[in-house]
């Protein structure tokens, strides 16, 4: 069997394990946010420090967060134009717009870790920082704008600045650039803490999987914009900037990621269309289960 396929199959099995756990009532959809919160605050920061500590820093890595920001802005321009022609209600349009702008970077981390090890994880984490910055600033602003809650009109910068993976990345980069070597005990501890990241993310995705048939056509358009047009944008950016190697793969594939879970969070928080948001997320996650590994294989460094 192809070594790449051998690495990807366990990830797919973990996703379906999440679905099975929910069907058997061993876990529920309500447990998924807890698992992802644990990943965000505990396991992913540890894994990020390990990845950056073990990777060689190269010049083209500096572009990655800014390319993520560029993708989000282009998605906004395309989705706002298309969405207004679909004659949706304001709450549904909000979920449509926000969904296409949010890339589910948590989804890609296990695949890049499996395919390229620390090299892939470090670059994917940098892309995640740019995407996350936009989620809690410009994208969140649009959720407020099109939601039915009028409690606030301000961006909460603290949500971005308090992100543990961001601080983990800054700490690791500081150590790396300063030439400081971590003690073997610290490396082993962080490695142990970071190991559950991959299975926990995939199981949480399985718990979240809950597609609906209402407004299926509009949901498929949102998924097409996020995953197909996003792919085209990634290819164009990588070509124009002459990106090479794993950096090129990360930018192209991450530009085509499924709709992120924060779409559901913002839909609930700002009273947008929750059911439409859940449908878009579920459909894109299922497609991405096979689509993203295929893209990683097709655009892998030769």
Is residue 26's pLDDT more than 70? yes
* Percentage with pLDDT > 90 across the chain: 34
pLDDT (0 to 100) of residue 255: 97
Q: Which pLDDT value is given to residue 252?
A: 97
The pLDDT, as a whole number, for residue 151 is: 54
User: At 75, is the pLDDT very low, low, confident or very high (cuts 50, 70, 90)?
Assistant: very high
Contact between residue 69 and residue 136 where contact means Cβ atoms under 8 Å apart: no
- Residue ranges of domains in the chain: 3-298
Q: Domain 3-298 has what CATH class?
A: mainly alpha
- Does 54 have pLDDT greater than 80? no
| Percent of the chain at pLDDT exceeding 70 | 91
- Is the pLDDT score of 239 beyond 90? yes
Q: Is the pLDDT of residue 87 over 70?
A: yes
* pLDDT for the residue numbered 200: 86
Confidence band for 146, pLDDT divided at 50, 70 and 90? confident
Residue 108: the pLDDT is: 83
More confident call, 133 vs 284: 284
For the entire predicted model, the pTM comes to 0.77
Contact between residue 140 and residue 266 where contact means Cβ atoms under 8 Å apart? yes
Average pLDDT of the segment spanning 79-107:
92
Q: Average pLDDT in the 158-172 region?
A: 73
CB 136 within 8 A of CB 157: yes
Position 245 scores a pLDDT of 92
């Amino acid at each position: 069997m192809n070594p790449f396929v051998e690495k990807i199959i366990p990830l797919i099995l973990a996703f379906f394990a999440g679905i099975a756990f929910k069907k058997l009532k061993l876990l529920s959809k309500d447990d998924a946010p807890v698992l992802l919160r644990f990943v965000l605050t505990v396991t992913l920061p540890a894994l990020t420090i390990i990845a950056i500590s073990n990777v060689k820093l190269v010049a083209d890595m500096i572009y990655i967060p800014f390319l993520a920001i560029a993708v989000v802005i282009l998605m906004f321009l395309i989705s706002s134009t298309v969405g207004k022609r679909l004659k949706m209600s304001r709450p549904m349009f909000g979920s449509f717009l926000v969904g296409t702008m949010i890339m589910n970077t948590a989804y890609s981390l296990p695949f890049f870790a499996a395919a390229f090890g620390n090299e892939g994880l470090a670059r994917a984490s940098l892309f995640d920082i740019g995407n996350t910055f936009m989620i809690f600033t410009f994208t969140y602003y649009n959720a407020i704008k099109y939601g039915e809650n009028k409690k606030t009109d301000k961006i909460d910068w603290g949500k971005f600045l308090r992100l543990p993976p961001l601080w983990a990345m800054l700490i690791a980069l500081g150590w790396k650039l300063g030439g400081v070597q971590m003690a073997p005990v610290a490396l082993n501890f962080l490695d142990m803490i970071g190991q559950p990241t991959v299975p926990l993310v995939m199981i949480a995705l399985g718990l979240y999987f809950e597609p609906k048939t209402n407004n299926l056509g509009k949901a498929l358009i949102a998924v097409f914009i996020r995953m197909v047009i996003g792919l085209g944008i990634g290819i164009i950016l990588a070509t124009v900037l002459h990106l090479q190697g794993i950096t090129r793969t990360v930018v192209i594939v991450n530009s085509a990621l499924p709709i992120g879970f924060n779409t559901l969070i913002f839909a609930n928080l700002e009273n947008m269309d929750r059911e439409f948001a859940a449908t878009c997320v579920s459909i894109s996650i299922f497609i991405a289960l096979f689509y993203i590994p295929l893209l990683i294989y097709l655009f892998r460094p030769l």
